[in-house]
Amino acid sequence: MPTGTGVLMFTSRSRHTDRAEHIDRDFLVSRHRALISEVAEFAQEHVRPRVAELEASGEVNEDLVRVLARRGWIGATIPTRYGGAGLDHRSRVVIIDQLARVSGAIAAAAQASDIPVAMFLHIASPAQKQEWLPMLASGQTLASIAVTEPRSGGHVLGMETTATRNGDAYALTGQKCYVGNSHVADVHAVVARTAERQLSVFVVDANADGLTLMPHQPASGMRGFSFGDLRFQAARIPSTARLGAQGDGLDAAYLASVVHGRLDIAAVAVGLHHELLAATVSYVQGHPRLRTHETVQQRLGQMQSNLLTARQAVYHAAWLLDSGGDCDAELFNAKHVGIDLGIHSARLAAEVFGARALRAAEPVERCIRDLQYLWAPAGTGDVQRFRLYQTALGITKSSWSLRSTT
């Protein structure tokens, strides 16, 4: 077949895979490529055989999440002096991306317990770091982050959960929702109001008196990932369980969300996006009529462009974060572009597959559902565009990416 024809990209699935990986060549080095191979092999051997069960039951596979944690892949950026792997931000993107290519739910579980690590790294006192970081690094302890509430949503300062000081303890009352790894975590990093415009963080044991974990409810996407609600009724929290100083809660929430949350969720989207395109290419390869259909060619070409653009944004943001520069705008954009283009490709894939995309047994159906699921966490597109507007005008109050390196 002569070069330059519209169907050249369909000659083999491996050709597609090679093309998709070229985007990494400027941002990844040999250690990252070794990690890619390690995580990909693990995902094929240990995760893929469980995907059908996760999809059918919707139940959480805690054992599998624990295995990831014991390998040091959750909280991978914890420094070696605390027993961590001391990996960079590109490495955590690689881990989540590769897991998502096999299971969005397991990748979501990995990133959900990585996000609160930012709080322990940047807000905790030296003594608290010595206490908690080794347990998080070894996988002995899994954490969740509990910020969002039913009535305030993404408006952090609008939260209603309160922590009232009473001697050497706080009484914690309120409700948190959409808590990632809610049914897996050993501790919850809970942000609560300690004064009119003051928020603080508390490390709450999952078995604490006064804490009720609501039953797991499988969602339309990410089946096998727990994303539940916590209710606190005058739960007694020792003052020593306050993470950092009183009033550090707002900074902690933003650091965790901007520096870890946006990038982690974007990495899940990129992994799912890759699998979505691979499944669509494989389907088209098996149908000669589709391979030569100009409309299908255009849709697949756009999906390829979407993936390459999303990967560029995500890995570039991780590279900038590792470089120690101000990259808040790139982190916001990584989440925005990663999800937006992934969902666009999901619609294009559905148009190629037609009614077949509705069948639960089809990998493309799972990818479409899981990509839609990622729209809201760490802020919808509207939130990311507003933050990008602030960075464009230079009216942001703080560079969270710079603060994370100091």
Please, what is the average pLDDT of the chain?
Answer: 92
The three-point CA angle 125-130-136 to 5° equals 105
Q: Is residue 1 part of a domain?
A: no
One domain for residues 214 and 324: no
Domain boundary among 214, 248, 282: 248
Q: Could you list the residue range(s) of the whole structural domain that residue 126 is in?
A: 15-138
Percent share of the chain, pLDDT over 90: 88
Residue 86 lies in a domain: yes
Residues 210-248: tens digit of each pLDDT: 999 999 988 889 999 999 999 999 999 999 999 999 999
The closest alpha carbon to 273, from 303, 301, 295, belongs to 303
- As for how many domains the chain has, the answer is 3
CA angle 157, 267, 18 (to 5 degrees): 165
Q: pLDDT-based confidence at 7, cuts 50/70/90?
A: very low
Residue 103 lies in a domain: yes
Examine the domain organization and report whether 36 and 75 are in the same domain.
Answer: yes
CA-CA distance, 258 to 130, in Å (whole number)?
Answer: 24
Tell me if residue 191 falls in helix, strand or coil.
Answer: strand
Residue 2: inside a domain:
no
Answer yes or no: do 264 and 384 share one domain: yes
| 156 and 258 belong to one structural domain | no
Query: In terms of domains, do 230 and 261 share one?
Result: no
Q: Where residue 68 sits, what CATH number does that domain have? A: 1.10.540.10
Model pTM greater than 0.75? Answer: yes
What are the start-end ranges of the E strands in 125-259?
A: 143-146, 162-166, 169-180, 187-195, 198-205, 211-213, 227-238, 242-243
Q: What distance in Å separates the CA atoms of residue 187 and residue 82, rounded to the nearest whole number? A: 18
| Tens-place pLDDT, residues 282-301 | 999 999 899 999 999 999 99
- Identify the CATH number of the domain in which residue 231 sits: 2.40.110.10
- Specify if 3 maps to a domain: no
Note whether 215 and 93 are same-domain residues.
Answer: no
Mean pLDDT of the 386-390 span: 96
The CATH number given to whatever domain includes residue 323 is 1.20.140.10
DSSP per-residue codes, 216-252: P---SSSTT--EEEEEEEEEEEEGGGEESSTT-HHHH
Across 313-325, average pLDDT: 96
φ and ψ at residue 378, rounded to 5 degrees: 65, 20
Is residue 120 within 8 A of residue 142, CB to CB? The reply is no
If asked whether residues 321 and 358 sit together in one domain, one would say yes
pLDDT at 21: 54
* Domain final residue pick, 138, 157, 176: 138
Which DSSP letter does residue 303 get? H
Note the pLDDT tens digit of each residue in 37-81. 999 999 999 999 999 999 999 999 999 999 999 999 999 999 999
Say whether both 271 and 381 belong to one domain: yes
Answer yes or no: do 392 and 298 share one domain.
yes
22 and 66 co-located in one domain: yes
The answer as to whether 7 is a domain residue is no
Read out DSSP for 52-94? HHHHHH----HHHHHHHHHTT-TTTTS-GGGTS----HHHHHH
CA 169 to CA 163: how far, in whole Å? 9
pLDDT tens per residue, range 322-376: 999 899 999 999 999 999 999 999 999 999 999 999 998 788 999 999 999 999 9
49 lies in a domain? yes
Same domain, 259 and 399: yes
Last residue of a domain, one of 228, 248, 268: 248
Residue 264 — pLDDT band, cuts 50, 70, 90?
A: very high
Residue 104 lies in a domain: yes
Q: Report d(CA 176, CA 181) in Å as an integer.
A: 13
pLDDT at 24: 57
Instruction: Specify whether 170 is located in the same domain as 47.
Output: no
